Amino acid sequence: MRTKSRFHLPALLPFLFLLAACGSGDQSRNLEMVAGGGGIDDAVLANADADDANWLTYGRTYKEQRHSPLTEINEETVARLGLAWSYDVGNVRGLEGTPLVVDGVMYATSAWSVLHAIDARTGEQLWTHDPRVDRGHARYACCDVVNRGAAFYRGKVYTATLDGRIVAVAAESGETVWETQTTPKGEAYTITGAPRIADGRVLIGNGGAEFGVRGYVSAYDAQTGELDWRVYTVPGNPADGFEAEALEAAAETWSGEWWKAGGGGTAWDAIVYDPELDMVYIGVGNGSPWYARLRNPGGGGGDNLYLSSILAVRASDGEYVWHYQTTPGDNWDYTATQPLMLAELEINGRERRVIMQAPKNGFFYVIDRETGEFLSGTSYAEISWATGMGDDGRPIENPAARDLAGGVFVQPGPNGAHNWHPMSYNANTGLVYFPVYDHSFVHRVNDAWSYDPRTYNIGLDFKNRTADAGEDVTATGRLIAWDPVAGREVWRVEQPLPVSGGTLSTSGNLVFQGRADGTLSAYRATDGEVLWEFQHETGIAAPPITYSVDGTQYVAVLSGWGGPEVLFNSPLGQGNVAPSRVLAFALDGSASLPPPQPPFPPIEAPRFQLAASAADVDAGRDLYAPNCMRCHGADVVNSGATPDLRRSTTAIHESFADIVLGGLREPLGMPAFDDLLNAEDVRLIQAYVLARARESAGGN
C-alpha cells in the first residue's frame, strides 16, 4: 500500500473542456451512457452544472451551491406540487442524507449506513446494500447513527459506514466491489459524512473528537480501495516526528501533552474540491477536550491550529496551501465543519473566487479561496462569545466567555447558530439560504477532567451545570436569506420550532426547506413568501434535491427525525414515531401516504419500584448525562426514534441491568456499558429514569 507521508489531500486535475453530450436536460446522453452510470467520470463531474437532470454529487456540483437550473416547478406552478411517490427505508431512525440521482436511479443512504437504490420515477426499490455496521459501535456516535449521503463514480456508489469503512458498491447490482477500514478498528472514530470524488480518488474524513481522537482525511483509489494518502488536521506527539512542516508549525500553537487525548480536529462533514485551482478545502472540527485550558494546561498554547479552521491543500499531492481559523483556540465546540460553498463574487469592483461558510460560531465568512485572504465576517445570529470581528479577520472575544469562571451561559451553544444542515446559493438573487438556531448553553469546565478513551472527553462539568454569569436564551429558529457581498440578512422567516433542515434553491425562484414538525415548504427566493407546504408526520432535517426524468421535474427529501436535535429535545412533528421515508413530489402528483401513526399516549407513572433516596436520584442524573444523554435525550426527554426511557415498561426495568451491562439489546443498537458502569451505577441511573417518569406522569 502506497502512503505518502506528508500533509495531504487528494488529486484532481482541471478539465478545460465541455462535453456536448452533457447539455442541459439532454436525456440522449443518459441513453448512451454505460449501464449503471459507468460514464460518470471526472469530466462529467467537473461539468455537472451543465447537467440539470441528474444530481451527481453531494452538493449537485463541485461548488456545492445546491442550486438547480430546472424551472418546470416555479413560483407560478409550485401550488400544483403533489406527492409523486414515497419509499419507506425500513426503520424509524434519523435521516440526514442527500440522495444522488443518476440516469433515473436514486441512491439514498439511511441509518446504520444502509444504501438504497430506488427508481427515481416510481419509488420502486431496485436493491439495498446493508454494510452490517457493528451495532455496538453506536456508543461512539455523538449524535445518532445517521449518514449524510454517498458519492458516485464510474458505475460505483461509495458510502462510508458508522464503524469507519469505505464501501464501493456496483451501481447496477448493489454488490460490494471493495471495502476498506479507514479508521482504527474498535477505536472511538465514527463516520457520518458523505464521501467526495476527486480525480479518481474517494475522500473521507471522520468524527470522534468528543471521545478524544486525532482528526484526519484519507484518499483512496476509487477503483481498488488502495490508500493513496492521508492528511492529519492537528499535530501529533512531537517525539514521533511530524508528517509535514505545516504540522510542525501548528505544534507551536499547542502546549502540554495535548496528543494524549488526540487533540480532536475531526473533519466529519465538509470537504469541497475545486478542479480549476487543484485545491481541496476541509472544514476542521473542535478540540478534544472542548476547553482550551484543559488542552493546554498551565496557560500555555495558543490558537491550537488547525482546530475550527478552513484548511486548503493541493488536490494533486495534499501540500498545505493556506488556512483560515474561524475560532482561534476554540473553547465552545465551534466547529468549522459546516458546509463550505464555492462561488465567484464581485467584491469592491473585482471578481473574486471565494469560499463561503456559516459555521457554528455565528459569523458568516467570505474568504478568497485562492489565497485564504479574509474578505468579510459578519454575525448572522445573536452571539455572546464575541463582540465583533477585527479587520484582520480575528473575532473580538468576550473575556468572560474565554475564562468561563464559575460557569457561563454562552450564545450560541455547542449545537451552533448553524450546524451541518446544507445551505444553498442562487446566483440570480445573489443570496445564500440557510437555517439559523438561536440558543445558549451553560459552559462549566471540569478542571479535574482526565482522558478516558471509553467515554466523552469534552471536559464539561456534567455534575454542576449552574452558571454564575450570562443569561439563558429561549431557543428560536428561522430561515434567512443572506447577501454575502453586503454581509447582511435580506429576509427571514421565523419558524415554529428552533431547528430546521437544509435548503435547496432553484431557478424557478424557489427555496425548499423541511422543518422539525414535518412540514416541507417552498418559499419565493426573492422575498421569503410561503408558496406551498406539505405536512409529513415526522420531522425533516435532510436537505431537499431536485432532478428530472423523462422530462418531469421532481423534488425529493428524506424525512426522519434524529441526529443532534434529540439532545436538545426538538420535537417530532406529530408527537409520534413514524417510518422514515423518502418523499418525492411532482406537479399534479396524486400519491398518498399510509394513515399516520397514532400520537404517543400520556406518560404513565411507572409500576416498577426501586428503593432510592433523593441523593441516589441526583447521582443517577450525573451518571446519565455523560453516558446516556447522547441517545436518549437531555433530562430523559427523547424526541427521536431511540426509546424514550420514561416510557419503559416493567419488563424493561426488570431487565435494566442486563440491557446496560449485558448488552441484551446490542443487536438493536444499545451497546453494553460494562466497561464504564457497574451494577451500582446502573441502579442509580435507573432511579433517575424512574424519577423523571414519575415527574412527567404527574404533569399530564
**Residues carrying an active site annotation:** 333
User: Amino acid identity of 327?
Assistant: T
Lookup: cell for 15: 478539465
Question: Contact 116/167 with Cβ under 8 angstroms?
Answer: no
Residues with Cβ within 8 Å of residue 41, at least 6 apart in sequence: 153, 154
> Mapping DSSP to helix (H, G, I), strand (E, B) and coil, where does residue 406 land?
coil
The helix (H) or strand (E) run that includes residue 691 is: helix 679-698
Question: Contact 584/123 with Cβ under 8 angstroms?
Answer: yes
In which region does residue 483 sit, left (phi positive, over 0), alpha (psi from -120 to 50) or beta (all else)?
beta
- Which residue, 355, 527, 455, is CA-closest to 674? 455
Q: How many CA atoms lie within 13 A of 379 on its CB side?
A: 19
Question: Contact 554/120 with Cβ under 8 angstroms?
Answer: yes
d(CA 187, CA 115): 24
Beta strands in 468-580 (DSSP E): 476-483, 488-495, 500-506, 510-515, 519-524, 530-535, 545-549, 552-559
DSSP classification of residue 403:
H
Burial class for 255, CB neighbours closer than 10 Å (0-12, 13-18, 19+)? middle
The helix (H) or strand (E) run that includes residue 692 is: helix 679-698
Chain centroid, CA 549 distance in Å: 29
Lookup: cell for 613: 433516596
d(CA 152, CA 58): 9
DSSP classification of residue 603:
P
From residue 483, give the alpha-carbon distance in Å to each of 64, 248, 368, 376, 516. Answer: 17, 38, 16, 12, 26
Residues with Cβ within 8 Å of residue 552, at least 6 apart in sequence: 72, 121, 586, 587
d(CA 540, CA 84): 18
Number of H helices, E strands in the chain: 9, 39
DSSP classification of residue 578:
P
From residue 61, give the alpha-carbon distance in Å to each of 51, 56, 65. Answer: 10, 7, 7
In which region does residue 407 sit, left (phi positive, over 0), alpha (psi from -120 to 50) or beta (all else)?
left
Q: How many CA atoms lie within 13 A of 46 on its CB side?
A: 19
d(CA 390, CA 486): 17
DSSP classification of residue 195:
P
d(CA 91, CA 94): 9
Kindly report the number of other CB atoms within 10 A of residue 654's CB atom.
11
